């Protein structure tokens, strides 16, 4: 029994480390201009990882994935189209979007590692990293919602107010948007 638990822990740590290696970071992209194709490739890899690791213990919550899939992704496409001729603004939107996807993974991994930590100091370090990532996620969500308009900001607020149990594991129930209005 102990062997299988140890094997499971090693496997989970392997998945976490692999995910962190594959995780897009803003610093990798910040040295140059982010092209649309680069952003879409990063997004494709992010979404592929989400499908492959959907039930891993360190994946984003149903609520976080619902916001990503049903609000943020559409807003990113809309804002990208709206600001396509404003180079400074489109770069900010693209960098925020890449950062958002990275932070979603980082926040959930840090939360999981905090919960699994054996010593209090390590737990607090991971907890602090989790809180910082969540604050940055919320700031990006707020910025996108404000750029979209008051209705979208209210939609984001309504979604945030819902309990976690309100959301499905795959974040795909688009009817929830109408239930919240």
- Global pTM reads 0.77
Give per-residue pLDDT as tens, 14-48: 666 666 555 554 444 444 788 999 999 999 999 99
Share of the chain above pLDDT 90, in %: 64
Domain positions in the chain are: 2-180
What are 78-127's pLDDT values in tens digits? 999 999 999 999 999 999 999 999 999 999 999 999 999 899 999 999 99
Q: What is the mean pLDDT of residues 160-165?
A: 88
Query: Tokens at residue 147, please?
Result: 């750029």
Residue 34 is classified by DSSP as P
């Amino acid at each position: 029994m102990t062997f299988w638990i140890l094997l499971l822990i090693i496997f989970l740590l392997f998945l976490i480390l692999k995910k962190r290696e594959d995780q897009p970071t803003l610093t990798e992209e910040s040295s140059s201009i982010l092209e649309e194709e680069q952003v879409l490739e990063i997004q494709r890899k992010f979404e592929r990882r989400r499908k492959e690791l959907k039930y891993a213990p360190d994946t984003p919550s149903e609520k976080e994935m619902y916001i990503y899939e049903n609000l943020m992704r559409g807003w990113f496409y809309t804002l990208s189209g709206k600001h396509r001729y404003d180079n400074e603004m489109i770069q900010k939107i693209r960098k925020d979007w890449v950062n958002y996807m990275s932070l979603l993974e980082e926040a959930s991994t840090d939360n999981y590692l905090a919960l699994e930590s054996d010593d209090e100091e390590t737990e607090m370090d991971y907890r602090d990293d989790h809180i910082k990532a969540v604050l940055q996620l919320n700031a990006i969500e707020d910025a996108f919602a404000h750029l979209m308009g008051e209705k979208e900001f209210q939609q984001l607020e309504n979604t945030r107010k819902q309990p976690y149990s309100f959301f499905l594991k795959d974040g795909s129930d688009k009817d929830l948007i109408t239930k919240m209005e």
